Structure 1
Amino acid sequence: MKTLNLYLVRHGQTYYNIFNKLQGWSNSPLTQAGIDGAKEIGERLADVNFAGAFCSDTGRAVSTAQIILDLNQASAVKEPHQAPFFREEFYGYYEGMDMNQSWYLAAGPHGLKNIGEIVAKYSFDTAKDFLKEADPFGMAENHEEYWQRVDQGYELIANDPQLQDGDNVLVISHGNTLLSLMDRYAPGRYDLSERPANGSLTKLKLTDGKIEVVSYNE
């Protein structure tokens, strides 16, 4: 049995975060506040000995990971392993669009107004399905497509031969992904009506491929 301690950090603030746009697989650079926030969490984690580091291949995630690793004093890891499995949910037609408007269009056909109402009545997985239904191109990820991809990321970590029992692993994550993980693996434990903060820390234990939530949005 191998247990890995995962340190999930939400990427630093981006311009799309300020503009309230769905970011998904598209990207915008870190703001100065985002850079400063990444440095702040990097300093918090400076003495954690990371045996590995993983992130999506989007610029905001790579930049956040590199800032944290550059500030680390205990780890020999110098750069993150980039993989598309760790990307945020793909929003298809709604990539880069106003977040409130997009979720209104997804929720409206079901008699609801926003993602909060969808989640309160159903779940984050249902929200993914509703957005795909509303996508005129049908390209947004539904919950099955999303988890099939994301689960491969955690399989990648679990099967990494260089990681040993008890090792600490840095993972740069995304807002809706963190909410989705909490909804799936810690239902009812946390208030998910507010998005996790940029630069916040969430801890998981990964034991033989099974995920346990230790803490959220610290």
Structure 2
Amino acid sequence: MSKKFTLYMVRHGQTYFNIYNKLQGWSNSPLTEKGIQNAVDTGDKLANVKFAAAYCSDTTRAMDTIQIILDKNRASSIEKANPSMHFREEFYGYFEGTDMDQAWYLAGAPHGLPTFKDIVAKYSIGKAKDLLKEADPFHQAENNDEYWQRVDAGIELIKQNPDISDGDNVLLVSHGNTLLSLVERYGNGQYDISERPDNGSLTKLEINGDEAKITAYNKK
């Protein structure tokens, strides 16, 4: 029998690479003081929400964020989240740590699309992934298919958790582009995907068997 549950998806707190406008897919930079405060604020907002399970990307910025949120939660008995590489940000390959605008320029400019927003406006976030892999001299960045194989496996991992029952809430701390990608796929065009989700913001994904839909995006 399929279960219906709500995934409370939070973007990690602000990091130093966020300030410097660098791509930090699988690379890492620490939370800033503001980033820790992002997590504290989100933890306060979610303190009385009962979670049946908690997951996060296995990057320190996601693990540090979710630990602060779980420590503040009064309604659940979860002490630690389940970290998994399935919930990591897109892997940017050669462009890891590169200035964000420069990387997307190199991906899109050969196609007359000099910014990430230009690529998404003409095509999609998925196409942006394909173009970045194409521009990567090592071709190691994830393309759209590779990316979704990994993230879909993560969603499947959550669905198979026997501790999650019908009507439960599940906490997930992930990343900006990953949340955008999920909103593009499951938002039915109702949300502005030209706007990146804020650090510490909340996006909700309702999962019902094989169906999924976004019910809130980038809530502060």
Q: Is TM > 0.5 for Structure 1 vs Structure 2? A: yes
Q: Which residue number corresponds to residue 118 of structure 2?
A: 117
Corresponding residue number in structure 2 for 1:65: 66
Give the ranges of 4+ consecutive aligned residues of structure 1 lying more than 2 Å apart after TM superposition. Answer: none
Structure 2: which 5+ residue stretches go unaligned?
none
The whole-number CA distance in structure 2 between the counterparts of 1:167 and 1:101 is 42
TM-score by length of 1: 0.98
Q: Following TM superposition, by how much is the alpha carbon of 1:109 offset from its aligned partner in structure 2, in angstroms?
A: 1.2
- Rounded Cα–Cα distance in structure 2 between residues aligned with 1:120 and 1:182: 15
Name the SS for the 2:214 alignment partner: strand
Identity %: 61
Give the superposition deviation at 1:108: 1.1
Check whether the contact 1:4–1:207 (CA below 8 A) recurs between aligned residues: yes
Deviations 1:104-149 (A, max 9, x none): 0000111111110000000000000000000000000000000000
Aligned to 1:147: 148
Code of the residue aligned with 1:46 in structure 2: it is A
CA contact (8 A) 1:158 1:209 kept: no
Post-superposition shift, 1:162?
A: 1.2
Amino acid at match of 1:13: Q
Structure 1 distance, partners of 2:24, 2:16, is: 10
SS at match of 1:193: coil
Q: Is the 8 A contact 1:155 1:209 kept in 2?
A: no
Aligned residue in 1 for 2:103: 102
- RMSD over equivalenced CA pairs, Å: 0.7
Number of residue pairs matched by the alignment: 218
- TM-superposed CA distance for 1:193, in Å, is 1.5
Amino acid at match of 1:83: S
Q: In the alignment, which residue of structure 1 is the partner of 2:26?
A: 25
Give the whole-Å Cα distance in 1 for the aligned partners of 2:65 and 2:157. 20
Counterpart of 1:213?
A: 214
